[in-house]
Amino acid sequence: MSVSNSHSELRVARCITPNGLIENVSVGIDDHGFISEITQKSKSDFEFDVTLCPGFIDLQVNGIDEIDVSTADGQEWTTINHHLIRQGTTTWCPTLISNSRDNYAKSFGRIGSYLKTQSTVAPQIAGVHLEGPFLGEAPGAHESRNILHVNQDWIAQLPEFVKIMTLAPEQSLAPLAIDQLIKQGIVVSIGHTRATSEQFDAAVASGASMVTHLFNAMSGIHHRENGVALRALTCDQVAVGLIADLVHISCEAINLTFRAKRESDIYLVTDSIAWNNRTAKNRGIVVRDGAPRLPNSTLAGSCLTMNMAIKNLVTQCGIDLAVAVHAASQNPAKILQLTDRGRIEVGLRADLVALDKHFNVVASWIAGQRIR
């Protein structure tokens, strides 16, 4: 399934398109790395018994294994790229949790330096996701000393590569902050919060359009109290993220989400962390019962991969394969207005992933070039 800079054709058994799964498909890739043709064959003459998917887009990656994106430097970026491509992720958002302003500045500097030299045949950074520091009454694994009050001067100085911020609507200046962030081209996500319905609605009215890892680090569902999770499920103005490791959320919660929300408003994230580095060990974080946890058992991100998130949705929760793949590709692309990727469609980038019947990644392409 090798692809070079010359025109290439992939003949596959199955292909996930914006309209669903089709069989016996030929996908053409032009000299510039764009999809030039999609043809469904009348008979089974495919060359590869795989499901061809759009490259996965992960909007929440704090780290993987030993590498934390907040401190990554030099060769560590290459290592994390290898981890990402093995799970089919071709576009991603390095995610920085709540920290001091000095540490944020250091992280911005390292990420900015990497972006200047980022290879065109590596997983592409769509922007940085700031998960904090303006959080609320559900900090989760975030250290309380790093949760700060909204500071509009600091927001004004954020680098242009910051594209998402998670904040809590109960912050006193939340509506002003949301308005400012949106004017700076930053998508606002509601998270780590126990906001009231009024605070949630005020955030949405100000322009918040996402909810970070639905059900986790927020008030939940009660038949008389409108927790954040319930409000998110019933609000058509927000897309919701799911950590589908079946530890953070159950299949029942996943199925409820797919019944309550439009399919196009659900996106998968890994929320993966550097569970195996010194900082995690110093905080007492260990992987236990399927996820990284603090000593008090609080979940501290995941060790999930995107291909396994899709597998869980399909094999454990009964979600349609195409719907699950869309939640890992075209839906997050829509959130960040990445109009050149996220779908297998003529004229778009040939960011592609081939999955076998066990959901293993057997090949990946970025802009038409095979990198796995």
At 42 the pLDDT is 79
CATH number at residue 69: 3.20.20.140
Residue 192 and residue 331 in one domain: yes
> In 173-276, where does DSSP find H-type helix?
174-183, 197-206, 228-233, 251-260
E strand or H helix at 114, and its extent? Answer: helix 101-117
Could you tell me if 274 and 360 lie in one domain? Answer: no
Task: Give the tens place of pLDDT for each residue, 106-130.
Answer: 999 999 999 999 999 999 999 999 9
Q: Could you tell me what percent of the chain has a pLDDT over 70? A: 98
Q: What is the pLDDT of residue 43?
A: 74
Burial of 324 per CB tally in 10 Å (0-12, 13-18, 19+): buried
Q: What does the pLDDT average to over 203-217?
A: 98
In a domain, 134, yes or no: yes
Contacts of 45 (CB under 8 A, 6+ apart): 11, 24
Q: Tell me, what CATH number does 44's domain have?
A: 2.30.40.10
Could you tell me if 14 and 153 lie in one domain?
no
Short-list 191, 159, 160, 161, CA closest to 174: 191
- Residue 1 confidence (pLDDT) above 50: no
Instruction: Please determine, for residue 5, whether its predicted confidence score (pLDDT) is greater than 80.
Output: no
- Asked whether the CA dihedral 277, 280, 282, 287 is positive or negative, the reply is negative
The Cα 219–Cα 199 span in angstroms is: 13
Asked if residue 1 belongs to a domain, the reply is no
Are 138 and 281 in the same domain? yes
pLDDT confidence tier of residue 4, bands split at 50, 70 and 90: very low
pLDDT at 6: 43
pLDDT of residue 110: 98
Please determine, for residue 343, whether its predicted confidence score (pLDDT) is greater than 80.
yes
On whether both 287 and 358 belong to a single domain, the answer is no
* Catalytic annotation present for 271: yes
- Asked if residue 60 and residue 48 are part of one domain, the reply reads no
Least reliable range by pLDDT among 4-18, 59-73, 152-166, 223-237: 4-18
- Residue 281 burial (CB < 10 Å; 0-12/13-18/19+)? exposed
Is residue 2 a part of any domain in this protein? no
- Residue 16 sits in the same domain as residue 95: no
Q: pLDDT tens for residues 67-78?
A: 999 999 999 999
Residues 29 and 112 in one domain: no
> What does the alpha-carbon distance between residue 93 and residue 91 come to, in Å, rounded to a whole number?
7
pLDDT tens digits, 234-266 = 999 999 999 999 999 999 999 999 999 999 999
340, part of any domain: no
165 within a domain of the structure (yes/no): yes
Query: Would you state the structure tokens that stand for residue 10, as one six-digit string?
Result: 């992939």
Number of domains in the chain: 2
Whether the predicted pLDDT of 46 surpasses 90: no
pTM above 0.75, yes or no: yes
Whether 194 maps to a domain, the answer reads yes
Measured in degrees and rounded to the nearest 5, phi and psi for residue 29 equal: -125, 125
Query: Is residue 129 located within the same domain as residue 140?
Result: yes
User: Is residue 185 a contact partner of residue 160, using CB atoms and an 8 Å limit?
Assistant: yes
Tens-place pLDDT, residues 75-106: 999 999 999 999 999 999 999 999 999 999 99
* One domain, residues 40 and 159: no
Shared domain check, 240 and 321:
yes
Residue 44, pLDDT score: 73
Same domain, 47 and 186: no
Mean pLDDT, to the nearest integer, of 44-64? 94
Averaged pLDDT score across all residues of the chain: 96
Q: How confident is the model at residue 9 (pLDDT cuts 50, 70, 90)?
A: very high
Residue 199 in any domain: the answer is: yes
pLDDT, residue 7, reads 58
Q: Where in the sequence is the domain holding 210, given as residue range(s)?
A: 56-335
Which one of 201, 271, 289, 320 is the catalytic residue? Answer: 271
